[in-house]
């Protein structure tokens, strides 16, 4: 039986017309017509301004939009048929779009983009999230480290509000940093760039037919580059503004990110177990910037969901956590909201015990990952409370403390991993 192809004949025909490129910018979409116009416009301007001589293409992998998203992407082409007098372009710029099968899934989209990059022999690729509000300069900041300095993966850093990106600062960054020993500020990057070499490496991995490949590809990209000993850098892009959408589904986000991180540890034990300390990676611009303007957030709801979760998931947590950790959690959950604190040490220990439980499959792995969500809400509550009046420097100091806790407790995970504990 012939191997299933992810590229339709029409898309393949369009790729033939594009031909070899130096730079490929991928955008994955699903019903983004209301916002995609400015995004592709910024990409186009960025390519023309910073890479005017390079052969470039914009490739859209769409999850089945019905709102005309694809037409808006295609309209960004610059050719001798579509003369755009405002833009000075040496070359034709193809902006093409395809719908990948299986419904919207960022992993499927990324796989389509990677396949296009490999077929077009792109030497540098960027993936831009449709949820981002970008400036043309982002293209340069992401791609230049690849084209000029031969980095294989460039992850972003952003200027964020201190209460934005809580999952990253309270879990993904500290845990990924401790386990994989690289200080990647955005290990689950919405916008990133990579070399053609790394694109081929990603594409050849066996993950694409698995759930993690379908939904957790961005996290996998970072981990795979670290484990594969590719050259990593991060680049400051600017303010991280998001297109307003419905509130994010926390459980889904944890599945995609933390679930992928847990899953990756199985095959990469030799890699992540070898180092006890993390190392910084090359950073272009600041490795973070925080805005500490006052912002009203509903902490109480986070607290309530934490308390309810600890209570309702008692059976599940008993299977996952050690008795001392569970007891401490339960005791913490009894503290009234104004005095409630989720200590860094307890949080790191809890996460590592979840990690070991996932490894040992003490219950359904999906249930393990889902059960982490209410506990994370408790940690998020503490972060919001403790940093209510903190300056950017104070917030960063607290993040660093949490990271050090994760690094300090890493040996305990290793002990749990091989059953010594």
Partner 1 sequence: MALPQDALWYKDAIIYQVHVRTFYDSNADGIGDFRGLAQKLDYLQDLGITALWLMPFFPSPLRDDGYDIADYRSVHPSYGTLDDFKVFLEAAHQRRIRVIIEMVLNHTSNQHPWFQESRSSTTNPRRDWYVWSDIDTKYRGTRIIFVDTELSNWAWDPMSKAYYWHRFFSHQPDLNYDNPAVRDEMWSVMKLWLEMGVDAFRLDAVPYLVEREGTNCENLPETHTIIKDFRARLDREFPGRMFLAEANQWPADLRPYFGESDEFHMAFHFPLMPRMFMGLKLEDRKPITEILQQTPSIPEPCQWCLFLRNHDELTLEMVTDMERDYMYDEYARDKGMRLNLGIRRRLAPLLDNDRRRIELMNGMLMSLPGTPILYYGDEIGMGDNVNLGDRNGVRTPMQWDGGWNGGFSAADPESLYSPLMLNPVYGFQAVNVHSQKRFEHSLLSWMKRLIRVRKSLPVFGRGSIEFLYPANHRVLAYIRQLAKDTILVVNNLSSSAQAVELDLRRYKGNILIEMFGRNIFPRIGDLPYLLTMGPYQFYWFRLRRI
Decide: is 361 part of the binding site for partner 1 (CB under 8 A). no
The nearest distance, CB 389 to partner 1, in angstroms, is 51
- Nearest 10 degrees: Cα torsion 139, 290, 106, 271: 100
Stretch that binds partner 1, among 14-22, 36-44, 161-169, 235-243 (CB under 8 A): 14-22
**Given the complex with partner 1, which of 48 and 307 has the nearer CB atom?**
48
The nearest distance, CB 90 to partner 1, in angstroms, is 6
Cα angle: 262, vertex 182, 368; to 5 degrees:
15
Residue 82: CB atoms within 10 Å: 13
Decide: is 16 part of the binding site for partner 1 (CB under 8 A). yes
The nearest distance, CB 14 to partner 1, in angstroms, is 7
**Given the complex with partner 1, which of 56 and 172 has the nearer CB atom?**
56
What's the Rg (C-alpha) of the chain? 22
Spatial distance between the Cα atoms of 412 and 25, rounded to a whole number of angstroms: 42
**Given the complex with partner 1, which of 94 and 349 has the nearer CB atom?**
94
Residue 238, strand partner residues: 158
The single residue among 14, 152, 186, 353 that binds partner 1, judged by CB under 8 A, is 14
Residue 391: CB atoms within 10 Å: 12
**Given the complex with partner 1, which of 53 and 277 has the nearer CB atom?**
53
Pair type for strands 153-161 and 192-195? antiparallel
The single residue among 2, 9, 66, 88 that binds partner 1, judged by CB under 8 A, is 88
The single residue among 91, 159, 161, 360 that binds partner 1, judged by CB under 8 A, is 91
The nearest distance, CB 58 to partner 1, in angstroms, is 14
The nearest distance, CB 81 to partner 1, in angstroms, is 5
Contact 73, 121 (CB under 8 A): no
Token look-up 């490795």 returns 287
**Given the complex with partner 1, which of 19 and 103 has the nearer CB atom?**
19
CA dihedral for 223, 225, 231, 233, sign (positive or negative): negative
The nearest distance, CB 85 to partner 1, in angstroms, is 11
Decide: is 94 part of the binding site for partner 1 (CB under 8 A). yes
The nearest distance, CB 251 to partner 1, in angstroms, is 44
Contact 72, 36 (CB under 8 A): yes
**Given the complex with partner 1, which of 22 and 218 has the nearer CB atom?**
22
Spatial distance between the Cα atoms of 145 and 153, rounded to a whole number of angstroms: 9
Decide: is 20 part of the binding site for partner 1 (CB under 8 A). yes
Contact 155, 194 (CB under 8 A): no
Spatial distance between the Cα atoms of 383 and 298, rounded to a whole number of angstroms: 12
44-83 residues in contact with partner 1 (CB under 8 A) are 52-53, 55, 79-81, 83
Residue 319, strand partner residues: none
Displacement of CA 263 from its chain's centroid (Å): 15
The nearest distance, CB 20 to partner 1, in angstroms, is 7
Interaction site with partner 1 (CB under 8 A): 13-14, 16-17, 19-20, 52-53, 55, 79-81, 83, 88-92, 94
């Amino acid at each position: 039986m012939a191997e299933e192809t992810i590229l339709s004949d029409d898309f393949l025909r369009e790729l033939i017309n594009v031909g070899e490129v130096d730079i490929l910018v991928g955008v994955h979409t699903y019903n983004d017509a209301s916002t995609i116009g400015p995004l592709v416009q910024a990409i186009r301007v960025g390519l023309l301004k910073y890479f005017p001589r390079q052969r470039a293409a914009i490739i859209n992998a769409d999850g089945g939009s019905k709102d005309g998203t694809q037409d808006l992407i295609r309209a960004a082409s610059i050719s001798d048929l579509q003369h755009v007098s405002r833009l000075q372009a040496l070359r034709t710029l193809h902006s093409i779009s395809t719908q990948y099968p299986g419904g919207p899934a960022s992993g499927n989209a990324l796989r389509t983009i990677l396949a296009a990059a490999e077929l077009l022999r792109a030497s540098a690729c960027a993936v831009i999230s449709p949820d981002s509000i970008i400036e043309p300069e982002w293209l340069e900041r992401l791609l230049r480290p690849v084209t000029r300095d031969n980095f294989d993966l460039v992850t972003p850093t952003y200027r964020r509000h201190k209460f934005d990106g809580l999952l990253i600062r309270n879990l993904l960054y500290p845990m990924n940093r401790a386990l994989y020993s690289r200080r990647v500020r955005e290990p689950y990057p919405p916008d990133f760039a990579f070399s053609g070499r790394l694109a081929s490496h990603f594409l050849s991995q066996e993950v694409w037919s698995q759930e993690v490949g379908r939904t957790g590809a961005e996290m996998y990209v970072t981990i795979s580059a670290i484990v594969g000993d590719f050259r990593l850098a991060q680049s400051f892009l600017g303010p991280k503004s998001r297109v307003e959408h419905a509130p994010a589904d926390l459980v889904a986000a944890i599945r995609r990110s933390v679930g992928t991180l847990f899953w990756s540890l199985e095959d990469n034990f030799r890699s992540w177990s070898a180092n006890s300390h993390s190392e910084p990676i090359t950073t272009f611009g600041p490795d973070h910037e925080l805005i500490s303007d006052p912002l009203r957030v509903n902490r109480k709801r986070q607290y309530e969901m934490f308390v309810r979760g600890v209570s309702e998931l008692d059976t599940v947590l008993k299977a996952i956590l050690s008795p001392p950790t569970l007891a401490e959690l339960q005791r913490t959950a009894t503290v009234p909201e104004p005095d409630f604190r989720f200590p860094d040490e307890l949080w790191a220990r809890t996460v590592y015990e979840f990690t070991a439980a996932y490894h040992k499959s003490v219950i359904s792995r999906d249930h393990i990952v889902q059960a982490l969500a209410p506990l994370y809400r408790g940690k998020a509550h503490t972060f919001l409370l403790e940093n209510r009046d903190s300056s950017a420097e104070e917030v960063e100091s607290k993040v660093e403390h949490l990271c050090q806790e994760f690094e300090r407790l890493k040996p305990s995970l290793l002990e749990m991993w091989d059953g010594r504990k």
